[in-house]
Chain A
Amino acid sequence: MTEETYSDALRRLEAIVAELERGGMDLETTLQRFEEGSKLLERCQNELKEAEGRLENLRLPDAEAMIDEAKEE
């Protein structure tokens, strides 16, 4: 997720779900919320499913060397 973090997206999604469950909106707003919610939902699901976990198992000197190299750049 670029700008929004997962938790931000999830919070917005939860707000939309609550709003839709509460009801009382006109149909156009309902549809807008539903579409927004669907997009957020898809983004959250992708975030979870498509994240490629990477493991760097480093000894302290190697980790420090990696940092030093990054600092030089």
Chain B
Amino acid sequence: MDEIEPTPVGKFVQSLRARLRSDDRNQHCLLKGEISQWKPYASGHTYFSLRDDGGQISAVIWKGRCRIPDGIKDGQEVLVIGSVDLYPARGQLQIVVERIELIQKIGAMEQQKQKLLLQLRQEGVLDRPRKSLPSFPKHLVIVTGKDSAALADMLQLSQSRWPGIRTTVVGVTVQGEKAVEEIVRGLAVARDLNRESIASSLAIPPCDIVIVGRGGGSPEDLWAFNLEAVARSIAAMPMPVISAVGHESDILVSDLVADVRASTPSHAVECCVPLVDGHLAYLLDCEDRMLQGTLRQFNDARQQLQQLTLRLQLAPSKGVSEAVRHLERLGSDLHQRTTAALQLHKQRLAVLGNALQISHPKRVLERGYMMGVDDKGKVISSVSELSKGQTVSLQFADGEADANIDNIRQHEEET
């Protein structure tokens, strides 16, 4: 039989611890129980037991690891978020606490919050008209935790949106006993910065927008923003106030009384700091539209002018075409008249032709006359053209005959 090598207990405990810690089910457990043996040590660590009627487990809050609610003591019911661990030195199973809240206190605070909301509603504070945010704030005042991550986020985002915005940060305590008083005083500074006289003596534009808020935390951390003094300060501000507390899901009294509720501090900056690039782009668009509009007006005017010119050009040519039509009318008239004239002329010619035919010498000859023609074919119309012994041709209608001239007798001229 093989001899089994014994495990040193320390090694055993260590390996047990490793196995416990490697199981996700042992990490970040949400537990409810009662506190017993609450013992804060001088080292800063706090030890206690979490118990109920079914059992108990040791618990430790390492120094500074989580916020311990004020006035915590044995017997109080708490909610704990923590991870299971094994303390090797004593082999003790324990919960390492990551967060601890008093159940009773949460309930009491919630009651107080509801009571305040009811009162503010009755007074009309919740339903009062809200101030609208300036589209281009001149002076932003931020009341928030000094040197907080939320502030750093806000300033960075604001810078990237519009580097030109003037900002005054009033760094206050946002949780614990002093929180309410400091937030109220911070808001008072913002209100003073809104006053014309103070702004001008500081040579700055008056504050015209306020962000009041803080980053996320436990309900207790955020509690100051649920209290009456803060709510009333916000409601009484002369300029718009943006409440920006915690995360998306946290809704506090300050959110309900402010002019704008931002889901986170960064969202508050998005609400009020203009995106300058977007505005510049919009202005460019305006410029373009203005230019196009003006050009269109001028084009319209030019077109109108062109139309007028066209009509002017058209007006005389209208006269011309009428003239042409007139001419055409005249032309066709002329044609008709010419044709008629020609016709007449032809008829006249025909008549003349007839007359000519009638007066043709042959027609005369046919009536018994004859015509004497000399040897050159010239008609002899006078005896003086004749000489004795000359041969002339006597032309009859149906032939001719030669004849010799014997005697010439010329008639005496009649006076």
Least CB separation from B172: chain A residue: A60
Interface residue A3 (Cβ < 8 Å from any Cβ of B): no
Q: How far is the CB of B265 from chain A (nearest CB, A)?
A: 15
- Distance in angstroms between the alpha carbons of A48 and B281 in the assembled complex: 11
Which of B165, B193, B293, B297 is in CB contact (< 8 Å) with A17? B293
Contacts of B251 in A (CB 8 A): none
A52–B164 touching, CB < 8 Å = yes
Q: Contacting B168 at CB < 8 Å: which of A19, A56, A73?
A: A56
- Number of A residues, CB within 8 Å of B: 45
Q: Give which listed residue, A22, A48, A59, contacts B171 with CB less than 8 A.
A: A59
Q: List the A side residues contacting B159 at CB < 8 Å.
A: 53
- Annotate B187-216 by CB proximity to A: 1 below 8 A, 0 otherwise: 001001100011001101000000000000
Q: Total interface residues on B, using CB and 8 Å?
A: 44
Tell me whether B91 is interfacial, beta carbon within 8 Å.
Answer: no
In the complex, B298 has a CB within 8 A of chain A:
yes
Min CB–CB distance B189 → chain A (angstroms):
5
Candidates B171, B201, B296, B297; contact of A60 at CB < 8 Å: B171
Which stretch (B4-12, B34-42, B284-292, B323-331) binds chain A? B284-292
Q: A11 to B300, alpha carbons, bound, how many Å?
A: 27
Smallest distance from the beta carbon of B333 to chain A beta carbons, Å? 52
Chain B nearest CB, measured from A46 CB (Å): 10
Given A53-B162, A73-B201, CB of A41 within 8 Å of CB of B283: yes
Interface of B toward A, CB cutoff 8 Å: 134-136, 146, 155, 159, 162-172, 182, 185-186, 189, 192-193, 197-198, 201-202, 204, 276, 279-280, 283, 286-287, 289-290, 292-294, 296-298, 300-301
Residues of chain A at the chain B interface (Cβ within 8 Å): 5-7, 10, 13-14, 16-17, 19-23, 25, 27, 30-31, 33-34, 37-38, 41, 44-45, 47-60, 63-64, 66-67, 70-71, 73
A-B contact pairs, 6 of them (CB 8 A): A21-B293, A45-B283, A52-B164, A53-B162, A58-B169, A70-B197
